Amino acid sequence: MNAAKRLEIFRRLHEDNPEPKTELAYSTPFELLIAVILSAQATDVGVNKATARLFPVANTPEAIHALGVEGLSEYIKTIGLYNSKAKNVIETCRILIEQHGSQVPQTREALEALPGVGRKTANVVLNTAFRQPTMAVDTHIFRVANRTNIAPGKNVLEVERKLVKFVPKDYLLDAHHWLILHGRYVCQARRPRCGSCRIEDLCEYKHKTSDD
């Protein structure tokens, strides 16, 4: 895919949704961090239901840490893998309190040192909370990048690096949100909604397969 196509794709995505947002509910960088940790192998809808109960009661490292693993588990037990997630969140809160003055760090290295935080989670926090030009590649973005040919790659890291390189600079800050929403609602895994896709004429998927 050439640069002109990529520029037009993101121009249209921006035109349709000038200020894209994450669908996770949060009001502080700390709430976002916890929500993203909880969202692994879970839906944003499910996470939002749990945090709607949790955050009014505890939404600081100190308050959540005080709940302990068992106490926190009661709020998040509707989410998959809640036991391991509760342990990770409690330990993350302890580290934030002891090492970061209860603030969410703004570097990838410090974020990835937190339990339950991998590269994708760190990229979400850096981009969404701190407006850094990172690219968090989840299953939706991986699919869209490969299917459209915007940034094809064999693994998540390759796709991430290509997106950071190829997405026009003026659109890089919000590209993560546009691509994830496009993958979630239009360019779906089993049956992409090509007929109602805003960028169908620019997409190179139809040239590579005949099952669309």
- Report the chain (212 residues): mean pLDDT per 10 consecutive residues: 94 94 95 95 93 96 97 94 94 98 96 95 95 93 95 95 94 94 93 92 71 40
Q: Which of 120, 154, 162, 212 is catalytic?
A: 120
Residue 96, pLDDT score: 98
User: Distance between CA 180 and CA 177 in Å, rounded?
Assistant: 5
Residue with tokens 């974020």: 111
User: Distance between CA 6 and CA 4 in Å, rounded?
Assistant: 5
Show the domains of the chain with their CATH numbers.
Answer: 3-20+134-207 (1.10.1670.10), 29-128 (1.10.340.30)
Q: Which of 138, 165, 170, 206 is catalytic?
A: 138
16 is catalytic: no
| Residue 52 CB coordination number (10 Å) | 11
For residue 168, which amino acid is it? P
What is the rounded radius of gyration, in angstroms, for the C-alpha atoms of the chain? 18
The two three-digit tokens of residue 184, written as one number: 């979630």
Residue 137 in contact with residue 145, Cβ under 8 Å? yes
Residue 13, pLDDT score: 96
208 is catalytic: no
